């Protein structure tokens, strides 16, 4: 990088490492493509005082319109959002909650509402006929019917008595709608000719023995008057046999929607079409059939629909006709699709466990159809393995504490193969060893947790010659209940080099805003249990030493320190003071092996215990397939029996790895590598050159964003750094792979209090939603159409958003099954499939029956997982704090390392080329310029290198 003293802006030099060609990716952050310290500005201090414009995108405007009923002063007074940015975040949160509510409501409508609309169950019906000797025979009822609606005989008798009419028993069971005007809403007014309504039939009712009853004036009674006396909706129901009582050509019955029409008067008394020619044709051609769709083809038919129902309706169709059949078809198709998706996902997860997982670490890797996304040969293949140009001359292995900067010519191997004399047990896995950085990020952990993690890493079966600790303490932090600060604990555990007991603070550009962009860090070099160890203590500038969290910049900043360091080393960019200190101490500890030889970095949290062979399996997988750019192992819970909170998490961790990540691994697209235990490739050999992967400038540029304004960006960058890094890797390299290696295992400590779990899952769920929003837009992901990773991500996104509705409907379903004589068996079968398939997966992947018990505990806690945690998370979309997950001494509520204070002074940041740092350290100006080297030749038989 270079620093312009006139404008105080930093620019990266031209890259020397060849990038991987691919389709250009649009930045996730349109408003802040570069960190603010890198963006030219004439008057930064003046701009910082201005209140930012929050309506910068269509989404921001849409959120504002959706919440326009909440003026700013209401949001400020009632919800405590004091500035425009906080108010806009609140508006976007509410808009997202609207979206969640809409999706949940839509799901509920599809499952239950659609059935009510297409096949209403709230109308009690009386059958029109019953089978006698195999022949449908009309049933004789004691009550009367009006347009198919049952009216108690006495109620009708009392009503007609007010009209000076007498109702005799001869009319029991008779349809008497013909003496009423059923057009309550005026649907037939358009067909009137003056005062005459040709659609109104002859206003008289005929009994079974031919007796006619009609009003004295011959007019029909208004139906609305009769409806006032009725309180039940009981209808006469017809089957297809009733509608087609003779044959289709002679039947006077037809079906319109779910209503049966008696068109006898239409055929008998009308010689010309009443509703238009097209309607008349539809009526006559659908006798004894369903005319619903025939009427929808013309405007006349659509207009006549309601009038036909008002004039000729005589009852409802039975539950197995018309729209009810359509409802059953829709429900069955939906059930089949969902079950197919679930079964296919479980089957693919099992396929990965059976055929692929074991081959990931074996020599030769996957073969035949199992290698459809891999490149054969791995790191041992001559074509893939030719190293690219080196940017630093090999340093002599005879390094001492007083290095004079002399450059030797001893060749360096960035990977070696174990010789027969080494003590590691013989296994059937790939024995190529890559130089590995073990990054341990810590914040407020105590000595017990830190020692457990570092002991487990140093005691792994992987060679100490090829691994080095990178321990980064995020600020001068003292954890709650601790007597010593985290940096003091880490440094006290090390065997320091004599000259490294009190290193000087070094400056670097931090991931922060304002004056916090400048940070200072101390580099301690030594060993831990015989393993080389670099410890970086972020101590902060002199101005912030009095604060409770001096130097704290967040976990993402700790990761960027390592990523940026390797980028500058590989690209021969300018190094910060911290970069050079890391470079020199790292080279000393590794006895002349410079940082550009390192190819992979293992990232673990400071409360994780890695099993002895885990690192070996992970490196073997990386060495076996150069297309794998990231991988993770299985994370198990160390404190599973501490409380009910830890107990409900055991099976959730199991199923997230052996189901979700195993399924995604078949595509080579694990969407989230957990930060507590994952490995990334720093660079990869390709066609004689090095391709930067984790050290890729595009990834670091977006991951290094220090100014985030929108709710979406803050959920990506401030809450779920690990998932966002996985998203960036998949966006930047969609043709490469992210894998799950079940042989590599670790144990971690999970929250044992519900408040801590609530805070942790709030961050995880909200980060998941926003990262899936990003991934669903990546069209280059593996697969096509419904058999693609993009479709799988879309299903996961919708499934996450509708979790509350799903659990509520599941509980409702179980209650309805218990009390209803005719439950929805499709939904019950789907629920059983979802609950029982994990048990089958347990039987296939592990023989530990105890996981069946953990599964039962997990199922009992489903209301917590699918209702309480999601609802709490969604309503806290605008909460970007870590809450109760990590508590430190002196921290105030609302403290955040991303808060903006003061103005960044770029003159205090020192950036120089490696040659200039060397000249300054040795006090001698030397000519370090060299011609660019061609790729080195590599003799696999002799395991040596030579230079052209």
Residue range 305-335, pLDDT digits in tens = 999 999 999 988 875 555 677 777 888 888 8
Cβ partners under 8 Å of residue 487, min gap 6: 473, 476, 477, 537, 539
Tokens of 446: 């105590």
The pLDDT, as a whole number, for residue 649 is: 94
The pLDDT, as a whole number, for residue 742 is: 92
Pick out the chain residues at pLDDT < 50: 1-19, 21-23, 31-48, 387-414, 417-426, 930-948
CA–CA separation, 813 and 862 (whole Å): 15
The pLDDT, as a whole number, for residue 938 is: 38
Dihedral, CA of residue 369, residue 373, residue 379 and residue 384, to nearest 10: 110
CA–CA separation, 766 and 707 (whole Å): 19
The pLDDT, as a whole number, for residue 4 is: 44
The pLDDT, as a whole number, for residue 10 is: 36
* Model confidence pLDDT, tens digit, residues 63-92: 899 999 999 889 888 888 888 888 888 999
The pLDDT, as a whole number, for residue 941 is: 37
Helix and strand numbers, DSSP H then E, in the chain: 32, 36
Cβ partners under 8 Å of residue 246, min gap 6: 288
Query: Beta strands of 203-273 (E only): which ranges?
Result: 205-206, 212-213, 221-222, 234-238, 253-256, 259-262
The pLDDT, as a whole number, for residue 397 is: 37
The pLDDT, as a whole number, for residue 818 is: 78
Q: Is 604 helix (H, G, I), strand (E, B) or coil?
A: strand
Query: Beta strands of 492-591 (E only): which ranges?
Result: 495-496, 506-509, 518-528, 531-538, 575-576
CA distances from 227 to 9, 188, 217 (A): 81, 19, 22
CA R_g for the chain: 37
CA–CA separation, 864 and 858 (whole Å): 9
The pLDDT, as a whole number, for residue 383 is: 58
Model confidence, pTM: 0.75
Burial of 51 (0-12, 13-18, 19+ CB in 10 A): exposed
Nearest to 438 by CA among 524, 528, 533: 533
What pairs with residue 538 in β-bridges?
521
């Amino acid at each position: 990088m270079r620093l312009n003293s006139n404008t105080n802006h930093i620019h990266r030099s031209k890259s020397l490492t060849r990038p991987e060609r691919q389709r250009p990716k649009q930045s996730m952050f349109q408003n802040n493509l570069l960190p603010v310290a890198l963006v030219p500005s004439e008057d930064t201090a003046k701009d910082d005082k201005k209140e930012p414009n929050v309506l910068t995108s269509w989404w921001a405007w849409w959120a504002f319109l959706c919440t326009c009923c909440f003026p700013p002063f209401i949001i400020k007074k009632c919800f405590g959002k004091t500035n425009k940015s906080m108010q806009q975040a609140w508006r976007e949160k509410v808009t997202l909650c609207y979206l969640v509510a809409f999706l949940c409501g839509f799901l509920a409508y599809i499952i239950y509402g659609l059935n009510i609309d297409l096949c209403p169950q709230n109308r009690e019906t009386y059958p029109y006929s019953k089978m006698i000797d195999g022949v449908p025979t009309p049933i004789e009822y004691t009550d009367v019917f009006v347009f198919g609606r049952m009216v108690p005989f006495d109620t009708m008798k009392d009503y007609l008595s007010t009209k000076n009419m007498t109702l005799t028993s001869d009319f029991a069971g008779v349809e008497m709608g013909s003496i009423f005007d059923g057009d309550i809403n005026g649907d037939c007014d358009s067909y009137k000719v003056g005062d005459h309504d040709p659609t109104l039939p002859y206003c008289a009712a005929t009994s079974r023995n031919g007796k006619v009853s009609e009003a004295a004036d011959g007019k029909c009674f208004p139906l609305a008057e009769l409806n006032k006396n009725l309180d039940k909706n009981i209808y006469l129901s017809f089957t297809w046999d009733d509608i087609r009582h003779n044959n289709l050509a002679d039947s006077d019955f037809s079906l319109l929607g779910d209503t049966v029409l008696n068109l006898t008067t239409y055929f008998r008394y009308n010689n010309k079409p009443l509703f238009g020619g097209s309607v008349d044709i539809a009526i006559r051609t659908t006798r004894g059939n369903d005319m619903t769709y025939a009427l929808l083809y013309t405007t006349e038919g659509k207009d006549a629909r309601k009038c036909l129902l008002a004039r000729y309706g005589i009852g409802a169709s039975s539950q197995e006709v018309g729209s009810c059949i359509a409802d059953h078809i829709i429900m069955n198709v939906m059930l089949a699709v969902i079950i197919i998706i679930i079964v296919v996902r479980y089957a693919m997860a099992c396929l990965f466990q059976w055929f692929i997982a074991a081959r990931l670490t074996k020599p030769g890797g996957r073969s035949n159809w199992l290698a459809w996304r891999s490149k054969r040969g791995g790191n041992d293949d001559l074509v893939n393995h030719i190293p690219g140009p080196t940017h630093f001359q090999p340093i002599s292995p005879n390094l001492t504490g007083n290095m004079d900067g002399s450059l030797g010519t001893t060749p360096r191997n960035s990977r070696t193969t174990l010789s027969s004399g080494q003590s590691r047990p013989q296994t059937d896995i790939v024995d190529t060893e890559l130089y590995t950085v073990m990054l341990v990020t810590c914040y407020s952990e105590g000595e017990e947790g830190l020692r457990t993690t570092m002991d487990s890493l140093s005691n792994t079966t992987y060679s100490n010659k090829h691994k080095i600790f990178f321990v980064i303490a995020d600020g001068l932090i003292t954890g709650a209940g601790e007597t010593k600060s985290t940096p003091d604990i880490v440094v006290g555990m090390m065997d320091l080099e004599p000259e490294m007991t009190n290193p000087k603070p070094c400056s670097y550009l931090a991931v922060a805003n304002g004056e916090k962009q400048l940070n200072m860090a101390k580099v301690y070099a030594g060993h831990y249990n015989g393993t080389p160890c670099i410890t970086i203590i972020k101590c902060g500038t002199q101005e912030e030493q009095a604060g409770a969290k001096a130097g704290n910049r967040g976990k993402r900043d700790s990761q960027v320190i390592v990523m940026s360091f390797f980028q500058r080393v590989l690209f021969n960019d300018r190094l910060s003071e911290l970069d050079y200190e890391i470079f020199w101490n790292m080279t000393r500890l590794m006895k002349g092996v410079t940082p550009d030889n390192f190819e992979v970095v293992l990232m673990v949290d400071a409360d994780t215990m890695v099993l002895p062979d885990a690192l070996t399996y992970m490196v073997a997988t990386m060495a076996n397939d150069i297309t794998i750019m990231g991988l993770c192992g299985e994370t198990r819970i160390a404190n599973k029996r501490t409380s009910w909170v830890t107990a409900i998490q055991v099976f959730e961790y199991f199923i997230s790895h052996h189901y979700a990540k195993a399924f995604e691994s078949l595509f080579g697209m694990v969407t989230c590598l957990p930060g507590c235990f994952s490995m990334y490739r720093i660079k990869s050999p390709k066609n004689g050159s090095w391709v930067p992967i984790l050290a890729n400038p595009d990834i670091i540029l977006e991951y290094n964003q220090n100014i985030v304004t929108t709710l979406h960006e803050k959920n990506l960058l401030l809450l779920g750094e690990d998932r966002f890094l996985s998203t960036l890797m998949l966006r930047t390299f969609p043709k490469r792979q992210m894998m799950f290696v079940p042989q590599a295992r670790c144990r971690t400590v999970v929250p044992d209090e519900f408040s801590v779990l609530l805070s942790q899952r709030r961050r995880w769920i909200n980060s998941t939603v926003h990262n899936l929003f990003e991934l669903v837009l990546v069209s280059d992901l593996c697969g096509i159409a419904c058999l693609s990773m993009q479709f799988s991500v879309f299903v996961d996104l919708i499934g996450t958003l509708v979790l509350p509705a799903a659990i509520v409907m599941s509980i409702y379903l179980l209650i309805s099954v218990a009390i209803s004589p005719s439950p929805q068996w499709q939904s019950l079968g789907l629920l059983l499939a979802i609950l029982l398939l994990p048990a089958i997966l347990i039987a296939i992947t592990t023989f530990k029956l105890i996981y069946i018990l953990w599964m039962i505990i997990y199922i009992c806690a489903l209301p917590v997982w699918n209702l309480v945690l999601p609802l709490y998370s969604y309503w806290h979309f605008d909460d970007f704090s870590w809450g109760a997950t990590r508590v430190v001494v002196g921290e105030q509520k609302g403290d955040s390392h991303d808060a903006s204070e003061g103005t960044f002074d770029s003159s205090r940041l020192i950036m120089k080329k490696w040659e200039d740092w060397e000249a300054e350290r040795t006090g001698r100006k030397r000519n370090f310029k060299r011609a660019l080297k061609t790729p080195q030749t590599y003799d696999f038989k002799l395991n040596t290198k030579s230079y052209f």
